[in-house]
Amino acid sequence: MKYICGLVLCFIASTAVAQNICAPRADVVKRLWDRWQEVQISLAMVADGRLLEIFVSENGSWTAVISDPGGRSCVVSAGKDWTAIEPVTPKDKAL
């Protein structure tokens, strides 16, 4: 699982370099709401101290944002058709 998460974060980080869409966090959050009505649904600390946040709208659009401790946030990926699922443990799969 850690390996898969690492691969996802590497992909996200490389996408951030390509897109380079960065601004103060408050501005990014406001724009996500104003433009797509996206709200934060999850967050996680990245190993290097940055914050990974996922924003989603009711119509399924989503945006992944990485924020540094200084308050700078960068959109690292975005898409459509976000689907929330219930976590399934290996024990549940055996059934």
pLDDT in tens, 10-44: 444 444 444 568 999 999 999 999 999 999 999 99
Question: How confident is the model over 64-82, as a mean pLDDT?
Answer: 95
pLDDT in tens, 36-71: 999 999 999 999 999 999 999 999 999 999 999 999
Reading the block at residue 11, the tokens are 């992909």
Question: Strand, coil or helix: what is 47?
Answer: coil
DSSP character at residue 39? E
Give the number of other CB atoms < 10 A from CB of residue 62.
19
Cα distances (Å, whole numbers) of residue 5 to 2, 12, 31, 40: 5, 10, 27, 19
